């Protein structure tokens, strides 16, 4: 069984996909910081920054079924290249014009929609580039690269903004999308299945939703992931208040708690690139759900910043396990012609679940406090995990994957 480094070195198409995702996700994280600072400075309104995040994250999630249908309808390499070029054009237009809020949100929305299509296309391309026995290692490597880029993107932005300004950072981001598109040319053509010919895009989107609802193991994996995110998505907000109000600590403590998950996440992907092939993906998925949920519950019971930091770092391991296990299971369960739609629906539903968690968790935070919110969120996540632990093995035993 090759290591992640060995697999990337030996597999040129996978290496190209890995490199393109690292470049693209890193540039995206870079520009997000620049845009948030630009909007805050030019409008002076917190609601404007909230609208920017809403357009960039939540609105594209609503198009998940269609985004996945696009990934299944056309050559997936071409879809990824076009998505990168669209994102490059949108960011370049923002960099040149630095428009007022209305046009800026439109351009951010265009970029975000292209990114929403890119996600299922890139994930569903992995099984076509590696053998079944290497799926766990490939998914771990791809996840590590993307999350490392997202983690270091804001740090790079902090270094470049004083030198290049907002416009310069946005130009760097536009260039990163262009470089990513060029790298993706090294990925072989990934044509769609002939079975999708003649169907409308809406019909294909409906077929994708219907497949998830009909196929029990896929439904359990997707609903379990969405439920855990809906329970725990509020943790980012709760951790800020935990540090500042509960522990009476400063901004550095906030940074530590928010950064702990990222540290654990990268460590988790690094470990999984080596040990995931030896693990049961069902056990890894349930374990990831449990660790990520129990991590928030225990953080709510923590007595100091250091204890909360340690628990959140361990929680990051669970998040990495969730990602690798769910991707690998779906890639093995779902027929290739439907894989893009399954991933598109999953990522879209996760985005909606995160928004619901922010709203519901925010109300709970206002009514109680950060420790209570984290305990409730984590506890509900543990209950959702128990439901998956009971139902997924049964579903896998009783159901065979359906053909399209």
Q: What is the DSSP string of 191-250?
A: PPPGGGTT--HHHHHHHHHHHHHH-HHHHHHHHHHHHHHHHHTTHHHHHHHIIIIIS---
Q: Answer yes or no: CATH 1.20.1250.20 is held by domain 200-404.
A: yes
Instruction: Out of 84-93, 360-369, 389-398, pick the least confident.
Output: 360-369
List Cβ neighbours of 135 (8 Å cut-off, separation of 6 or more). Answer: 126, 127, 328, 331, 332
Model pLDDT for residues 13-42, shown as the tens digit of each residue: 999 999 999 998 888 888 888 888 888 788
Question: Where in the chain are the domains?
Answer: 1-192, 200-404
Non-local CB neighbours of 242 within 8 Å, separated by 6+ positions = 257, 299, 300, 302, 308, 370, 371, 374
Q: Using one digit for the tens of pLDDT, what is the confidence trace for 126-169?
A: 999 999 888 999 999 988 888 888 878 777 887 888 888 889 99
- In the chain, % of residues over pLDDT 90: 57
Q: Which residue has the tokens 């985004």?
A: 67
Whether 404 shows a pLDDT value over 50: the answer reads: no
Q: What is the pLDDT of residue 401?
A: 46
Band of residue 251 on the pLDDT scale cut at 50, 70, 90 = low
Integer Cα distance of 26 and 20 in angstroms: 10
Q: List the structure tokens of 301.
A: 């019971």
Q: Residues 6 or more apart from 54 whose CB is under 8 A from it?
A: none
| pLDDT tens digit sequence for 43-83 | 766 678 778 878 888 888 889 999 999 999 999 999 999 99
Instruction: Return the pLDDT at 90.
Output: 95
Structure tokens at 155: 């740090």
The CATH number of the domain covering residues in 1-192: 1.20.1250.20
Whether pLDDT at 246 is above 50: yes
Cα–Cα dist 381/232, whole Å: 7
Matching CATH topology for 1-192 and 200-404?
Answer: yes
> Strand ranges (DSSP E) for 207-358?
none
Which pLDDT belongs to residue 345? 94
- pLDDT tens track for 321-369: 999 999 999 999 999 999 999 999 999 999 999 888 888 888 888 888 8
Alpha-carbon gap, residue 261 to 299, rounded angstroms:
12
Q: pTM to 2 decimals? A: 0.88
For the segment 165-206, what is each residue's pLDDT rounded down to a tens digit?
889 999 999 999 999 999 999 999 999 877 666 678 899 999
Distance, CA of 121 to CA of 87 (rounded, Å): 15
């Amino acid at each position: 069984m090759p290591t992640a480094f060995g697999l990337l070195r030996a597999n040129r198409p996978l290496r190209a996909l890995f490199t393109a995702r690292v470049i693209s996700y890193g540039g995206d994280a870079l520009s997000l910081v620049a845009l948030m600072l630009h909007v805050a400075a030019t409008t002076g309104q917190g609601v404007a920054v909230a609208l920017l995040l809403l357009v960039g994250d939540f609105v594209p999630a609503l198009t998940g079924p269609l985004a996945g249908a696009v990934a299944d309808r056309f050559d997936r390499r071409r879809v990824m290249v076009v998505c990168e070029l669209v994102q490059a054009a949108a960011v370049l237009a923002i960099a040149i014009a630095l428009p007022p809020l209305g046009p800026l949100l439109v351009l951010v929305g265009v970029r975000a929609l292209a990114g929403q299509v890119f996600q299922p296309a890139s994930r569903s391309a992995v099984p076509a580039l590696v053998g079944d026995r290497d799926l766990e290692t490939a998914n771990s490597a791809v996840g590590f690269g993307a999350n490392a880029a997202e983690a270091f993107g804001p740090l790079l932005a902090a270094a470049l903004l004083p030198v290049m300004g907002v416009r310069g950072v946005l130009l760097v981001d536009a260039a990163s999308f262009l470089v990513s598109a060029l790298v993706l040319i090294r990925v072989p053509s990934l044509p769609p299945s002939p079975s999708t010919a003649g169907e409308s895009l809406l019909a294909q989107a409906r077929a994708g939703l219907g497949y998830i609802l009909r196929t029990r193991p896929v439904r359990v994996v997707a609903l379990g992931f969405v439920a855990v995110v809906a329970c725990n998505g509020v943790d980012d907000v709760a951790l800020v208040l935990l540090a500042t109000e509960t522990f009476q600590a400063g901004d550095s403590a906030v940074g530590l708690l928010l950064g702990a998950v990222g540290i654990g996440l990268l460590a988790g992907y690094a470990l999984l690139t080596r040990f995931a092939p030896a693990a049961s993906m069902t056990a890894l998925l349930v374990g990831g759900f449990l660790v990520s949920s129990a991590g928030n519950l225990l953080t709510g019971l923590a007595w100091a910043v250091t204890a909360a930091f340690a628990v959140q770092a361990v929680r990051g391991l669970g998040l990495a396990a969730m990602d690798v296990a769910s991707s690998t299971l779906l890639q093995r369960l779902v027929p290739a012609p439907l894989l893009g739609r399954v991933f598109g629906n999953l990522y879209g539903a996760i985005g909606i679940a995160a928004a619901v968690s922010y709203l519901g968790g925010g109300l709970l935070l206002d009514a109680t406090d950060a420790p209570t919110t984290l305990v409730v969120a984590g506890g509900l996540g543990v209950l959702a995990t128990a439901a998956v632990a009971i139902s997924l093995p049964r579903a896998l035993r009783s159901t065979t994957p359906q053909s399209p």
